[in-house]
Amino acid sequence: MDRAAELLHSVFGFPAFRPGQAEIVRSVLQGRNTLAIMPTGGGKSLCFQLPALCREGVTVVISPLIALMRDQVRALRAAGVEAGALTSGNTGEETEEVFQAIDKGRLKLLYMAPERLASGGALALLRRAKCSLIAVDEAHCVSQWGHDFRPDYLRIGELRRALRVPLAAFTATADEETRAEIVTRLFDGEAPVTFLRGFDRPNIHLAFAVKDKPREQILRFAGARRGQSGIVYCATRAKTETLAQALREARHEAVAYHGGMEAEERRQVETRFQREDGLIVVATIAFGMGIDKPDIRWVAHADLPKSIEAYYQEIGRAGRDGSPAETMTLYGPDDIRLRRSQIDEGAAPPDRKAADHARLNALLGLAEALGCRRQVLLGYFGEAAEPCGNCDLCDRPAQLFDATEAVRKALSAILRTGEWFGAGHLIDILTGTATPKVREKGHDRLPTFAVGRDLSKPAWGAVFRQMMGRDLVRPDADRHGALRMTEAARPVLRGEVSVTLRRDTVVAAGEREPVIRAQVADEDLGLLALLKAKRRALAEAQNVPAYVVFPDRTLIEMAERKPATLDQMAGITGVGARKLESYGAAFLEVITGAAEGLHPARLKLAGRPEGALFDRLAEVQLALARGEDGTGKYLTCTHSTLRAIAERRPSTLGELQAIQGMGEQKVERFGAAFLAVLRDG
C-alpha cells in the first residue's frame, strides 16, 4: 500500500485516498476477487488503475463504450501511464502501437470492449500480454433485466476461469437484485470481497417539479445556469431536437443527441461536449454512459426517468469533480401513464413486470416525497440518512394535508363509473361540472357528483397524480388509459388507512429553484477564466478533452491558492509529476505573469522536501564555486548530481564521493558544506 500511496501522489497528483478507496485498492492489490459499489464520482477508476501500476503483468479493463475507454487512456497517458485500448474505432497504427507495447512488456492497462471477447483471438491475446487481473467497469451491465444490459458481459466469467486470474468489478448503480446477478455471472456465485461504499453524492442538489409549461421550465432552469455545461434528458428523439432548438433560440450553445443520428454525428456531439465549456446536450438515454466529463454542472430531466437506478446514474454524471452541481426532474400524469404502459405492453414475464412496477413506484415515491429527497433516495439503496439540507424539500418543506377523504371520494367515483374513465372525466364528476359527456353517461346522477367542490380542478389533478404516484390507481392500457383501483387502495377505501398528500405541487417550478453558487470568489473569477482559456488552448493543440489537461477542480484550486513557484504548484490537487512537467510552467505563467524556469532534474523534485535540499545545495555550491577565498579553480556539480545527493542524503564523505559526478576534488571543495546542509535539512 505504501507504493500505491506514493503513486497516487506522484502520478495522479492526489494527496490522499478518498473515503473508501484505500480498502478497495488493498483488496485488489492482494489479488482477491472484489466487487465495489461506489457512487459516481467516487474515484472507482483509481481503484483498478493504481493496483495495475503496482502489479506485475497487464490489467485488462472491460468497459462498455469506446468513448469512455479512449478518454481514460488519454488521461492515463497524460499522467505518464502506459495504457492502450483495442476497439473497433482504432486506426491500424493505434492497434499496432498497442501490440508493440504488449510485446515489449511496457503496457500496464489494456482497455477492451466486451464485444471483443467474442472473437476467438481474445483469450490468446490476453495470455500473450501476461494478463494478471481483470477489471470490469460498469459491472451492472451484466444484469439481463437492467437498463444497460450488454450480452457480451456474460462472457467475462468464462474469461476469468480460462485465465485463472482475480477479477475486480465496479459499478455505481446496483440494487440488491443486481448485485446478486453480478456475483452469479462474474464470480460463479462465489461471494467476492464486497465493498458498498454508499450512494450519497452530497454535492448534488436534488429537485423535482410537476410539469407546468415544461419547455419554459427547462429554459428557465438553463438560463439561470448560463455558460455551465449541462445535460437535458428527454423521453423521445423528436423532443431532443425541438428542445435543443428552443435552447439555441434562447442564445445557449445546445445540440441534440439520440440513437437515430448517424454515428459520425453522435461522435461529433460527444467530442464537442468533452472539449467545450458551457455546451448543453439535449439527449435520450443513449447519451451519457461513456461520458467521463468531470465538470458537468447540471442535469435536467424533461421527462420522468424509467427507474431510480436510471435516475441515479443519469444525475450522477453531474459534479464528478466534487464541486456543487444541480438537478431538476420534471414529471406529470402523462409520464406515469407512459411508464406504466411501457411495462404492461412489454414482453417480460408477469413477475418481471411486477418488479418493474415496484421500481417505478419507488421512483414516483421520490418524485412525490413529503420530506428530504436524499433520505428517500438513499433509503431505496438501503442507507439511512439525516435530512440533507441540499434538496428542494429541505430548502422549502412541502405543504401537507390529510387527503384521506379526498382520496376516498376519488376512488368511489372510479368504482361507480366502472373503472372506464380517466382523471379528466372523473374530476368533472367530483367538481359537479355537467359536461355533455357527463350528462350523456348519466354521471350527473351519481352520488359522487359534485361531492368534491371543496377542491379546485388543478387541486384534484394533483390528487389524482399523487394517487397514481402512490400506486393507488393505475392507467389501464386496454381501456385507453382509464384509471383502475389497485389492491393498495382497498384499505383506504374501507377507512383503515389514512393518506397524507402534498398541497404545494402545482406551484410553478421556478419558485423552487435553488440559488446558484459560484465556483470561486468574485475576485478570483477573472483568473479562473484565464486558466480555463489556457487549458482550452493546450487541449485543442493536443486534440484531447480539456479535463485531460486539468479538471475544473484543479483550476479552481490554482485560482484560490495562486501558487507562485513550481514547488507550490506541485501541491495542487491533480498536479502529478508528468503534468507538472508538461503544463506547470504554462499555468504558472498565467498566475504569476512569468514562468519559473527549472532544470528538468530540479523539476523532478518539485513539491518534495528534496526540492528544498536541492536549492540549498545549489546555493552552497555557487558560494564555493571558486573556493572559500574566491581564487580557486572553478568547480560545479551537475543538476543530476545535486538531485542524487538530495534524494540519497549521504551522511559521510565516503558516501558522498560514491555518488556519480562527485570526484575527489569536488568532495574536497563541497563535501563538508554539503553534509552540513543535509544534517540541517
Is-contact 63 72, C-beta < 8 A?
A: yes
- 463 within domain boundaries: yes
pLDDT for 510 beyond 70: no
Same domain, 77 and 94: yes
- What confidence tier does 514 reach under pLDDT thresholds 50, 70, 90? very low
Q: What local confidence, expressed as pLDDT, does residue 512 receive?
A: 46
The band of 526, judged by pLDDT with boundaries at 50, 70 and 90, is confident
pLDDT tier at 598, thresholds 50, 70, 90: low
Domain membership of residue 358 (yes or no) is no
| Domain edge (last residue) among 503, 532, 550 | 503
> Are the beta carbons of 133 and 168 closer than 8 angstroms?
yes
Which sign, positive or negative, has the C-alpha torsion 457, 463, 466, 467?
A: negative
Query: Bigger pLDDT: 174 or 590?
Result: 590
Number of structural domains (the chain) is 5
Of residues 294 and 559, the one with the higher pLDDT is: 559
> Do residues 567 and 549 both lie within one domain?
yes
Domain hosting residue 432, numbered range: 400-503
> Quick one: cell of 287?
447519451
CA–CA dist 521, 523 (Å, integer): 5
Categorize the per-residue pLDDT at 23 as very low, low, confident or very high, splitting at 50, 70 and 90. very high
> Is the predicted pLDDT of residue 329 greater than 70, yes or no?
yes
Q: Element (H or E) spanning 204, and its range?
A: strand 204-205
Mean pLDDT for 540-549 is 85
> pLDDT tens digit string along 617-671?
888 888 888 888 777 888 888 888 999 999 999 999 989 999 998 988 899 999 9
Which one of 196, 212, 243 terminates a domain? Answer: 196
Q: What is the pLDDT of residues 137-169, one digit of tens each?
A: 888 888 765 556 777 888 888 888 889 999 999
Q: What is the pLDDT of residues 262-290, one digit of tens each?
A: 888 888 888 888 888 889 999 997 676 55
Of the listed ranges 29-33, 138-142, 257-261, the least confidently predicted one is 138-142
**380 and 404 share a domain?**
no
Q: Out of 137-146, 214-223, 295-304, 388-397, pick the least confident.
A: 137-146
The pLDDT assigned to 481 comes to 78
Strand partners, 58: 131
Query: Has residue 558 been placed in a domain?
Result: yes
Q: Where is the domain boundary, 169, 196, 223?
A: 196
Domain co-membership, 473 together with 575: no
Question: Residue 318: CB partners within 8 Å, gap ≥ 6?
Answer: 204, 230, 231, 296, 297, 298, 299, 325, 326, 327
> What is residue 289's predicted lDDT score, i.e. its pLDDT?
52
* Residues 29, 163 within the same domain: yes
Is 439 in the same domain as 551? no
Claim to verify: residue 468 and residue 529 sit in the same structural domain: no
Which three cell numbers mark 180? 446478486
Which amino acid is residue 386, in one-letter code?
A: E
Q: 3-class secondary structure for 461-496?
A: HHHHHHHHHCCCEEEEHHHCCEEEECHHHHHHHCCC
Each residue's pLDDT tens digit, 468-477: 888 899 888 7
pTM for this entry:
0.69
What does the alpha-carbon distance between residue 336 and residue 101 come to, in Å, rounded to a whole number?
Answer: 53
Does position 95 have pLDDT exceeding 50, yes or no?
Answer: yes
Residue 244 forms part of a structural domain: yes
Residue 361 lies in a domain: no
| Co-location of 486 and 562 in the same domain | no
Whether residues 23 and 166 share a domain: the answer is: yes
For residue 515, is it within any domain? no
Dump pLDDT digits (tens) for 451-485.
999 999 988 999 999 998 888 998 887 788 789 99
On whether residue 498 sits in a domain, the answer given is: yes
Same domain membership, residue 178 and residue 210: no
Asked whether residue 639 falls in the same domain as residue 566, the answer is: no
- Residues 108-127 have a mean pLDDT of 86
For 654, residues 6+ apart whose C-beta sits below 8 A from its C-beta are: none
CATH at residue 498: 1.10.10.10
In a domain, 44, yes or no: yes
The CATH number that applies at residue 163 is 3.40.50.300
According to DSSP, the residues that pair with 473 across neighbouring strands are: 485
* CATH number where 579 lies: 1.10.150.80
pLDDT-wise least confident of 236-245, 333-342, 486-495: 333-342
| 347: pLDDT strictly greater than 70 | yes
Q: Are 588 and 581 in contact (CB under 8 A)?
A: no
Residue-averaged pLDDT of the chain: 87
595 touches 588 (CB < 8 A)? yes
Q: What is the dihedral of CA 114, 118, 121, 124, to 10 degrees?
A: 60
Q: Are residues 228 and 179 in the same domain?
A: no
What is the Cβ-side half-sphere exposure of residue 478, based on CA atoms within 13 angstroms?
Answer: 3
